[in-house]
Structures are given as C-alpha cells and as structure tokens.
Amino acid sequence: MLINVFIPHRWNNNDYNEISNILDRTKFNVRDYSVPSSSPFDEIDWRFNVDPKIQKQIQHASVVICSNRPAIANGMSIDEIRYAISIGKPIVAVQITPSSSVTLMSLGVSLIPKRKDSLETWIKNHI
C-alpha cells in the first residue's frame, strides 16, 4: 500500500530521522512529502501561518506524522499541524520524548508508542 507522508519537523533535533526510520521498517511503500534538508525552501512567505509551498506538501499527504514535541508550542510545526487538521488530514504523534506538547495534545492528536507495529496499526485504521 502506497502512503504519502508529511512529517512536520525542525532540523535541530533527530525526530524526523527517528520517524523516517520507523516508516522505513513498515510494510508500506512511503512517499515522503516533507521538506528535505537537501532541498529546503529558500524563501518562506511570512504573510501566512503556513507557507503555501508547505501547504501544498501537506495537501499531497495521506497522513501527517509528527513527534510528540513540536519545536516550540506555537511554532511553525504546530501551525503545520493545525493546517493539516483544518483540511481533514489524519494526524498521529509518535512518542519520541517522555513528555508531550500540551498544545499538540489539546488539538486531539493521537499519541502512539515509537514502534513499527503501533504506526502500522494506526495507519491501517485511519487511512
């Protein structure tokens, strides 16, 4: 099964790599629509909460998978998650750290353990 994935992230922690590594071990064929470090967007349009280029990436995703710690409570990752919620994308948070972002949990995002089987089951039940 092919799934299109968007992972909200910051390059100053290893959350993106941890989530990607779990996805690589799943039974799914994954197409990653996240913003890669090898080709970051040069310009961000700050007139928008979420830059239109990133909105487009999220729109292509079947699912949004984030860590339980967005960079900062009201940072761009949270705005990306709010945008995904507003357009009806299924979203799950992988428990990377012992404590979770209160803002993320207040948005009703499901939290799952950092395990391949947990992610596979959640995706199967929500896509």
Closest CA to 65 of 4, 126, 8, 112: 8
Percent of the chain with pLDDT over 70: 82
Name the amino acid, one letter, at 29: N
Measured CA to CA, the distance from residue 6 to residue 84 in angstroms comes to: 10
- The total number of structural domains in the chain stands at 1
Q: Which of 71-80, 81-90, 117-126 has the lowest mean pLDDT?
A: 71-80
Measured CA to CA, the distance from residue 37 to residue 50 in angstroms comes to: 18
Domain residues for the domain of 104 are: 2-126
Residue 53: predicted pLDDT: 83
Residue 74 pLDDT greater than 70, yes or no: no
Phi, psi torsion values for 110, nearest 5 degrees = -65, 145
pLDDT tens track for 16-48: 899 999 999 999 999 999 876 655 555 655 555
CATH number at 106 reads 3.40.50.300
Reported confidence tier of residue 49, pLDDT bands at 50, 70, 90 = low
Residue 110 pLDDT greater than 90, yes or no: yes
Residue 75: predicted pLDDT: 56
Q: Are 3 and 63 in contact (CB under 8 A)?
A: yes
Residue 35: predicted pLDDT: 76
